[in-house]
Chain A
Amino acid sequence: MSGPGPGAAGGPEAADRPEGGQPAPDRAGSGAGPPGAPGSGAAADAGQAGGPTPAAAPSARAPDAGAPGGPPADDEYEGRARFEGGLLPRLLAYVLPHRGLLVLALLSFPLVAAVQLAQPWALKHAIDGPIRAGDLPGIAGIAGAFLGLAALQAALQLAQALVMQLLGQRVMRDLRTRLFDRVLGLAPAFFDRTPVGKVLTRLTGDVESLNELLTTNLVQVLADTVLLAGIVVVMLWLDWRLALVTFALVPLLVGAIGWLRGRLRELFRRLRNRSTALNTFLQESVQGVTVVQAFVQEARHQARHDALDRALYEEALKSVTWSSVLSAAVQLAQTVTVALLLWAALEGAFGITASLGLVVAFVDYVERFYAPIDNLSGRYTILQTALAAAEKIFRLMDDPTSLPEPAPGPDGPRPVPPLREGVALEGVTFAYGGAGPGGAGAAGEPVLRNVTLRVPRGQTVALVGATGAGKSTVVKLLGRFYDPTAGAVTWDGVDLRAFETRALRRRIAWVPQETFLFAGTLEDNVGLDPDAVPPARVRAAATAVTVDRVAADLPDGWAQVLGERGRDLSAGERQLVAFARALARDPDLLILDEATASIDGETEARVQEALATLLRGRTAVVIAHRLATIRAADRIVVLHKGEVREEGTHDELIARRGIYWTLYRLQSGEAGEPGP
């Protein structure tokens, strides 16, 4: 009768999960639901304000349900976790490091429950004691005590909620960080077969669902259980006969709530499917509106939209009706219980002799009794979703795709010596997705067949060939992104597999075709790793390839923020940044995939000059697209369909009138308009 029960803390959360299970993905949208709303009925409607994320709704979840080729099955998106052994212990392993918080939280439950339960009891004492006796100072004392209890309850509730939230958030942070570290260690082969989006979903959405479980739900389930148990015990202790009368309706109500909840779950699932269907249709219409107009199908599409919309509306009305019934039913049971209570007390049935204060207190207990029952019944689905998420997270964590590292120990990884003789591919055959290390599943067509290629120290070798000839694969093997299916890649004659991969890569610098800019300043983007490259060397390298002029042109100079949310650089400037990155590392081996993007004349000249600076006296493998670069190479290797077909200097190859000659004509003379 004083503070709202634990429902007040749980209310907004209940509203966030309008459909009894799916955590609302868009948290900003959800905002504050009606605080303390009863966990059903209108709260479900209010929660709709923060429903599914727009646009993401149809595509965010994997559409792997439904028979192949058939229309999509109606019941998808329902995560069903198998309670496999090991899942909970593994989760617990992440909770244990924060056991201090856990203990604090567990201690707070009985405290909060006790404070809540003490209030009706204080009321009873006030009535039966000082008020009856007309003891004014006593009344004031009890009123003060009551206020104190309310304040204590408020403080404890806040502390409890925050402690649980902190616990959940910390566990999630740890889990996320661990998972991210794991993902960073996976071999490129993993990313060949797993879309980036899927990994991101594990890191964000799935971790978030687990968070739901740990913070709101765990608190709520524990709090509700403790509270319910407390109420039952106190009522039995105060007057067991009256308490039993009060409980008379409980089995009936629990049955009814269970039945209604099941029905509602089914209704909400259908509602969600209808909503997804409508949103998918809407998205397709937005993207295909020109086609709709071109084929004069506006009327038919409007009719289909309205039909889908109507179907959604009808389903929504059903769920509104049943959730209204549910919340009204709880209140019905509550009032009837009070009636029963009064009747029993007044009639003295079952030998009950209740004092006035006791009856008033019981009426209060009844009001606190039903909210936790209703809450508890709604938690099951959320638990299911969370466990399904946990399963997916741990499956990713257990993914074995990584390049085997040599075992540490006496014949463990060798230090990678500075390059003295050169690097080479010795009879290398390679297929993506092969059964070799780091790959899984059936091997595809080989993209390299018995390739032998030597790069002596200090020489620049240009790789030339049409799209799909295998040039990028060669350089990826040199950086040990993959291991060859057959043959070996060697460093001064030693198989790369004998080295620790990261140590090897520190001796190599790589200039990819598209310069990838990280969100950060220009200086960060050149230096990349302050531990590996001291700032002074970064500046020197940048100046050598005229990145200092790029900085001078930017409003914030070296501190200019680049990347997704920052300013973009032109294709030429990006190239220069990539050159500077490589130069700053002073690598033993340089791998360069020349940009194909057209660069304006002035920058082009700068890029060419910078490239010359970069290549001077360096061991380099260059996938060359520009004639000037090709001609400057010490040797040209022509790849065709995964094989080395021609090799030599520019003049030798031209004289041969083979593939290189055709490529050369394509590159030089007729590189006109129009064309990409």
Chain B
Amino acid sequence: MVASSPRPPPGDGERGGRGYHAPPVTAWRRYLRLFAPYRRAYALGLLLLLLTNALNLLVPWLVKRGVDALAGAPAASWPRGAGDVALALTGLAVVLFVVRTGSRVVILGIGRALARDLRDRLYARLLRADPAFLGRFPTGDLMSRSISDVQILQAVSAPGVLYAFNGLFMFALVLPPLLALDAELTLVMLAPFPALALGTAFAAARVRRYAAEAQEATADLTRVAQESLSGMEVVKAFTLERRQAARFLASNDVVLDRTMREAAARNAIGVAATLVGGLGTAAILWIGGGRVAEGRLSWGDLALFVTMLALVLRPTVFLGWVLSLAQRGLAALDRVDEVLDAPVGVAPPPTPTAPAAPAGGPGARVELRGLTVRYPLQGEGAARRPALEDVSVVVEPGRTLGLSGRIGSGKTTLLRAIPRLVLAPAGGALVDGVPVEAWDLAALRGLCGFVPQETGVFSATLRENVAFGRPEASDAEVAAAVAAAELTKDLDQLPRGLETWVGERGVTLSGGQRQRLAIARAVLVRPRVLLLDDALSMVDAETAVAVLGNLRRALPGATFLVAAHRTATLLGADEVLVLEEGRVVERGAPAALLTREGGRFHAAHERQRLQAEVEGP
């Protein structure tokens, strides 16, 4: 959405855009490391490029032959006649077509391959993300690194390398014959070229800077518009329409100004190239023309100079562009490496311990021993209280533990500690008597069915979403899971039932439907421990109770840990822990807790009962 209008992350366009600074020598080594895996393809591509450039230079040489012939001074060797020259030129054009296409396809293909490989690696790292990682790289940031930064590196590795070598080859091939013909004229003609390259690099940096400023201004404009739209009621109530319109116009003017600057910087490059080209041609006419008149240069030589000038002009501009791009690429490389090198929090144990005595029956025994969880902080110091502090509880196989407490009281952290979705100290949580960190990670998570409050729906059919954990599940099993989650009735309202495409770009499910989908998903993997993290909050009270009953029947003997804000959901539990600020402040059987006047569970329950009464029919 344009509304969010992410500002370019620091280190990307903006910082690099203040001006052009030559990258340090060590920087080039980082690029070499990045490009190393593709060195064979590069070798082939650059060879073809060299060939392209060499053959390209034959074109003016052949034209010179033609011109010499026309001037009445045909060459001594082949091709000399008109037909020969034309034939040679045509043949050369065809060969050039093939070689040029080949060089581009090979080198530009490398860029695409490099981008693909980087994306694959970034994704592999993402799949091992833990809360610390996700806290450090929010969704938008991670997306921008995987998309924009990778694209910049793709640009450096393919068109960047292509243009850089194209320029270098051109000069390597053009300079010697020209110098041999007339060193003085060559040097005069090329004198402004280094300035053109550096000027382009500088201007490209300026363009980027102004473009970033223009984007920033556009973001401001969007903010004013968004502010007016989301605060529309205030705007209308206080008749602020004119004021907001004036602010919008002011931002609009800033956009105009910055865009004009950007356009000026952009066009300056073209202007410089035109001027340098004009200078070069004038020098050729003046000096070269004089030499021809004196008979020291041939007509063909003069034409050759003119042609060569055109040949090296654009590559020079491109060289400047590559310099600026390479500088920007380093920032992108930093940002990509930051993700790839981020420390892995939850790692599988080197030698997993199988549970000594696998619990008989389908349920697992879950035990917490003084579990304390602290989230890593971002620069805040260690003063923050732990998310969970000294929680001890035993849940025997087949029993249900209820967790009550307000948002941020630690319910989610407790549930997540069991399948190791958060990093917890060793020995704090045990499943079947074995500390979770000693379990084989996949086996541990495989026996847990985790249902988060906000669940991800993936762009796929509803069936694929339900069978997420067991794609091979039969239709009957899927149908049973859907029924247990009380989702069957909803299917009738969807255009294609289970085969309905859901998620982004598909049918949008309601919050309650998403939650029940997540429950069906968990039932289908037949977990030995079911972890419900306020997973029925958006489902109405009656359905929620029905779902819980279904779950008990569908998963006989499984151990349930149910966190819920709604107290009615917890009345069927064997024990309830009331959490506050990460600590257990009340515990007991729900019936006992309800009789405790003034207790927290009792108060919450009464409050919710009255609420239902007032809002009820």
Contacts and interface: CB of A to CB of B under 8 A. Distances in A.
A479 B232 CA distance: 13
Contacts of A173: 249, 252-253, 255-256
Contacts of B280: 2
Closest 9 CB pairs of A and B: A150-B278, A288-B456, A346-B82, A69-B495, A3-B274, A672-B603, A343-B86, A339-B89, A49-B155
B233 A188 contact: yes
Contact of A282 (B2, B146, B155, B245): B146
Given A127-B299, A320-B112, A673-B603, A516 B231 contact: yes
Contact of B606 (A4, A140, A343, A670): A670
Nearest to B469: A295
B274 A55 contact: no
Contact of B236 (A57, A60, A188): A188
B171 interface: no
A294 B1 contact: no
Contact of A529 (B89, B240, B267, B500): B240
Given A34-B318, A165-B260, A665-B610, A184 B235 contact: yes
A56 B1 contact: yes
A339 B236 CA distance: 72
A479 B237 contact: yes
Interface stretch (B178-186, B217-225, B371-379): B217-225
A357 B253 CA distance: 51
A331 B100 contact: yes
Interface in B47-89: 59, 63, 66-67, 69-71, 81-83, 85-87, 89
Contacts of A288: 455-456, 458
Nearest to B1: A197
Q: Which of A32, A287, A295 has the most CB of B within 10 A?
A: A32
A671 B500 CA distance: 44
Contacts of A564: 223, 227
A165 B235 CA distance: 33
Contact of A528 (B238, B272, B461): B238
Contacts of A134: 293-294
Contact of A296 (B158, B469, B578): B469
Given A63-B504, A142-B285, A336 B580 contact: no
Contact of A313 (B87, B116, B227, B273): B116
B353 interface: no
A158 B275 CA distance: 12
A666 B607 contact: yes
B222 A204 contact: yes
A155 B494 CA distance: 63
A426 B111 CA distance: 72
Contacts of B285: 123, 126, 131, 139, 142-143, 146
Given A4-B273, A134-B293, A173-B252, A150 B281 contact: yes
A266 interface: no
A59 to B, nearest CB: 6
Contacts of A184: 228, 235, 241, 244-245
Given A150-B282, A335-B93, A320 B104 contact: yes
Interface stretch (B117-125, B355-363, B389-397, B552-560): B117-125
Nearest to B442: A296
A661 B610 CA distance: 11
Contacts of A155: 271
B528 interface: no
Contacts of A313: 112-113, 115-116
A324 B104 contact: yes
Interface in B299-349: 299, 302-303, 306-307, 309-310, 313-314, 317-318, 321, 324-325, 328
A675 interface: yes
Contact of B2 (A56, A284, A286, A317): A56
Interface stretch (B426-434, B444-452, B539-547): B444-452
A181 interface: yes
Interface string A25-47: 01111111111110001110110
A464 B51 CA distance: 85
Nearest to A290: B421
Contacts of B299: 127, 356
A54 interface: yes
Interface in A43-75: 43, 45-46, 48-60, 63, 66, 68-72
A30 B388 CA distance: 46
Interface string B381-425: 000000000000000000000001111010000001001010000
Given A70-B501, A675-B604, A30 B211 contact: yes
A72 B496 contact: no
Contact of B505 (A126, A280, A665, A673): A280
A367 B606 CA distance: 86
Interface residues of A, number: 190
Given A48-B154, A310-B116, A328-B104, A69 B306 contact: no
A521 interface: no
Interface in A585-624: 585, 591
B274 A58 contact: no
Contacts of A110: none
Contacts of A282: 123, 143, 146
Interface string A249-287: 000000000000000000000000000001111111111
A320 B154 contact: no
Contact of A153 (B89, B274, B286, B614): B274
A479 to B, nearest CB: 6
B44 interface: no
A336 B600 contact: no
Main secondary structure of the interface of A (DSSP, over half): helix
Contacts of B525: 295
Interface string A346-363: 110000001010011001
A508 B406 contact: no
Nearest to A278: B119
A312 B100 CA distance: 24
A161 B3 CA distance: 31
A339 B211 contact: no
B289 A130 contact: yes
B123 A55 contact: no
B604 A9 contact: no
Contacts of A359: 66-67, 70
Interface in A294-339: 294-298, 300-302, 305-306, 309-310, 312-313, 316-317, 320-321, 324-325, 327-329, 331-332, 335-336, 338-339
Contact of B101 (A69, A147, A328, A585): A328
Nearest to B496: A69
B573 interface: no
Contacts of B67: 356, 359-360
Given A48-B154, A342-B85, A8 B147 contact: no
B215 interface: yes
B507 A68 contact: yes
B190 interface: no
Interface in A563-586: 563-565, 581, 585
A27 B266 CA distance: 13
B435 to A, nearest CB: 19
B127 interface: yes
A285 B126 contact: yes
Nearest to A363: B63
A675 B407 CA distance: 8
A267 to B, nearest CB: 13
Contacts of B292: 131
B140 A42 contact: no
B281 A1 contact: yes
B65 to A, nearest CB: 9
A147 B273 contact: no
B263 A157 contact: no
B274 A674 contact: no
B155 A45 contact: yes
A563 B499 CA distance: 45
Interface in B491-537: 494-496, 499-501, 503-507, 518, 521, 525
B614 A196 contact: no
